[in-house]
Each structure stands twice: as C-alpha cells, then as structure tokens.
Amino acid sequence: MQVHKNFKNIEKVVYGRGSFDMMESILSERRNDNAKFILFVVDMYFKGKDLEKRIPLHEGDEIRFIDVDPEEPTTELIDALRDEVLAAKGIPAGVVGIGGGSIMDIAKAVSLMFTNEGSSTLYQGLNLIKKLGIYHLGVPTISGTGAEVSMTAVLTGPEKKLGLKCDWTVFNQVILDPELIASVPTDKWFYTGMDTYIHCVESENGILNNAFSHAYAEQSLKLCKDIYLGENAGQTPENDDKLMVASLMGGLSLTYSEVGVCHALSYGLSKILGEKHCYANCLAFQHLEDYYPEGVAEFRTMLAKHNVVLPTGLSKNWTPEQINAMAHVAYNLHHMWNHAIGTDWKEKITIELIEDLFRRF
C-alpha cells in the first residue's frame, strides 16, 4: 500500500504590511491559558529598535532577546530556556517568536518542550514528541528558510543536527509582515533568499515531486526570478512582498516533496564546521551542476547580478577526517538521497563519492 504524507499546515496566517500590529488582538484570545503570560523570543537585532516598542508586552510577560549569530539553535539553549521560564513562572499561555529561521525554530521547539519532559535531544527525529505543545506564533523578519511554515524545528545537539518534527511543531499562527524584512543586510538577504530557491530546485528534482509540491515550487521560483533577476531586481518593498510569499511557498513545496543533495552536503558543513544553513547551501550549490544543471547555472547568474563572490578552494584547508565526518553526516540523510537519486541510491552514492563532492569546495 502506498503511504502518502498527511501534513498539518499553519492554522492561521495574516499577510500584509503593518500586520505586525494585529498581534495584540490575536494574543488576547490566548492570554488566559496556563500561567497566563506570554513568552516572547526575539532576535537580539531588534533590541532598542522601533519594533521592540511595538511588541504587545503585558505585565507578567517574559521577553528574551537571543543573539542568533554565534551558533544555530542548540538543544542546550532550548532546554535551558524551558527550565528557566518553567522554574520562574510556570507554563506560558503561548510563545511568540520574532526573528529569522533561528528564532522560528527556537519558538517552535520551546513550545513543544514545555509539555514534553526531559531534554530536547530525546525528541530529535520524526514523531518522537509525545504531547501537544503550547500555542505558538511566528513572525519572520528575514525570508527564505521556510521555517515559518515547516513542520520541523531544527536543533543542533551533541550528537546530531536534526529537527523536532511532528504535526505539533507547526505554528498555530504566523504573521507575515513584509515591512519587517526591509532592514535585512544585503548579503543575508541573498543567502537566505537562496535557501528558498534551492528548496524549490531540490523539491522539483526528485522522485517525491508531485503536482502539489510542483505548484508551490513553480510559483516560488517565479517570484525568486523576479526578485533576484527581474527588471526591478533587488531589495525593494515590492520584492520584499514577494520574497515573504516565496519563502512560504518554497517551504510548502519541500514539505510535500523533499530537499536533496545540496541540503545533505549543507548539513555536513553546518554540523562539522559550524557554517550557517543558508550560506552553507550557497557554498554547496555552486558545485552541484551534475545534479541540478539548470538551477546551478541560474544561481551563478544571480550571484553575478548581485556581485556575490563565494569562496572556493576551501577544502584545501580541511583535514581528511573532517571531510570524512561531513560525508557521514550527509550520507545519513537517507531521505534526501532517496528523493534526489532514487530508491536505488545506495548503489550510486557512497561515502567516497560524497567526499569527492566536498573536495570540490
């Protein structure tokens, strides 16, 4: 019997310029749950900025500013945040995340960990979470990862970089306000936007692609082409409106299909060398013309158009042990190879072949 994926989508989405200010009324329906306070997790970038003043903070609410730059979200960070808040105030009525993919994942993960005992390392994987988490609302402020819509909260643990993935991970509410991404620096705008582009290329090129995932990828790719290659390419309000939607649709496309070779390699780079997800994807994608010829050619055009120069020759400074370790991380993402290469992927993909791919870097 064929088993089809049965996915949970975000319960409610509001989209539009200025929609951030609807948060007060949206939260008012939830504030009486549990210990009757809201936990806000906010990207440190917004500390002292105008947006901070617009956060509907009530007496008793808890706000944490998190610097996401040193490292991607860890299981340690989630466990500590949960333990501290729980000990001080109990279970919040809800969690609100305001920031990029890192903050989206922190909000999603911590909302689950308030009701699931022990360390988040116990739940890294598919459907390992035992109980429904608490209400969580996401406000993306940089677009591309699709973390605002995906059913996973990616965490780096002592042993693996793997998501807490289940129906309950998905946000109850998302606020998509394109005004919020205007301040994203150009380099990050490029790398994170390219995550969406790569999601779509990978989703389209593999055995799990279907009419449903294709419809989202096709539209998301069209938007990406407008934003990065069109007549009015660049960081403009019109393009920000589009990028927020492209990110969401890219995330939906891969949800109904799968990512592929680039993400497998990228996870290796992130886990072993600590490279950030979107940048790591860009580093990898430029070398994958054998797998994604059209996508990589177009990606190179986008790099040139925006004067982005990615480093090459990196692997010369990597030890054989590091390359081997990265290859193992990548190889173990079986679902990605299965999608990209086919069910007989183990006959075609070996650790040695993946090591050779890393030596192209």
Per CB under 5 A, residues contacting Zn ion are 195
**Count of CB atoms within 10 A of residue 144's CB?**
32
Q: Which is nearer to ligand NAD, 82 or 277 (CB)?
A: 277
220's tokens: 């998301």
114's tokens: 């308030």
Considering CB distances under 5 to 8 angstroms, the limit depending on partner class, which of ligand NAD, Zn ion, none binds residue 69? ligand NAD
Q: Which is nearer to ligand NAD, 115 or 183 (CB)?
A: 183
17 and 179 Cβ atoms separated by less than 8 Å: yes
Write down the residue that tokens 């860009």 correspond to: 282
Write down the residue that tokens 């939830």 correspond to: 30
For the CB of residue 348, give the shortest distance to ligand NAD in the complex, in Å.
26
Q: Which H helix or E strand runs over 140?
A: strand 135-140
Q: Which is nearer to Zn ion, 195 or 241 (CB)?
A: 195
For the CB of residue 116, give the shortest distance to Zn ion in the complex, in Å.
25
Q: Which is nearer to ligand NAD, 187 or 290 (CB)?
A: 187
Distance CA 84, CA 329 (A): 32
Q: Which is nearer to ligand NAD, 31 or 172 (CB)?
A: 172
Using alpha carbons, select from 188, 201, 175, 95 the residue that is nearest to residue 142: 188
Q: Which H helix or E strand runs over 246?
A: helix 237-256
For the CB of residue 147, give the shortest distance to Zn ion in the complex, in Å.
9
For the CB of residue 98, give the shortest distance to ligand NAD in the complex, in Å.
9
193's tokens: 């936007």
Q: Which is nearer to ligand NAD, 205 or 266 (CB)?
A: 266
Considering CB distances under 5 to 8 angstroms, the limit depending on partner class, which of Zn ion, ligand NAD, none binds residue 141? ligand NAD
Footprint on this chain of ligand NAD (rule: CB under 6 A): 43, 45, 68-69, 72-73, 99-103, 105, 141-142, 145-147, 150, 152-154, 180-181, 183-184, 188, 192, 195, 277-278
Q: Which is nearer to ligand NAD, 37 or 235 (CB)?
A: 235
Considering CB distances under 5 to 8 angstroms, the limit depending on partner class, which of Zn ion, ligand NAD, none binds residue 262? none
315's tokens: 């692997």
Distance CA 37, CA 255 (A): 32
Strand partners, 125: 164
Residue number of the CB closest to Zn ion reads: 195
Q: Which H helix or E strand runs over 176?
A: strand 173-176
For the CB of residue 241, give the shortest distance to Zn ion in the complex, in Å.
22
Distance CA 361, CA 262 (A): 12
For the CB of residue 144, give the shortest distance to Zn ion in the complex, in Å.
8
Distance CA 296, CA 286 (A): 6
Considering CB distances under 5 to 8 angstroms, the limit depending on partner class, which of ligand NAD, Zn ion, none binds residue 61? none
Q: Which is nearer to ligand NAD, 93 or 221 (CB)?
A: 221
- Could you tell me the CA-to-CA distances from 126 to 123, 166, 303 in Å, in that order? 8, 6, 35
Considering CB distances under 5 to 8 angstroms, the limit depending on partner class, which of ligand NAD, Zn ion, none binds residue 192? ligand NAD
For the CB of residue 41, give the shortest distance to ligand NAD in the complex, in Å.
11
Residues 6+ apart with CB under 8 A from 8: 151, 167, 168, 170
272 and 326 Cβ atoms separated by less than 8 Å: yes
133's tokens: 């988490």
161-165/152-156 β-pairing:
antiparallel
Q: Which is nearer to Zn ion, 26 or 142 (CB)?
A: 142
38's tokens: 């809201």
Considering CB distances under 5 to 8 angstroms, the limit depending on partner class, which of Zn ion, ligand NAD, none binds residue 150? ligand NAD
Considering CB distances under 5 to 8 angstroms, the limit depending on partner class, which of ligand NAD, Zn ion, none binds residue 103? ligand NAD
For the CB of residue 1, give the shortest distance to ligand NAD in the complex, in Å.
29
For the CB of residue 145, give the shortest distance to ligand NAD in the complex, in Å.
3
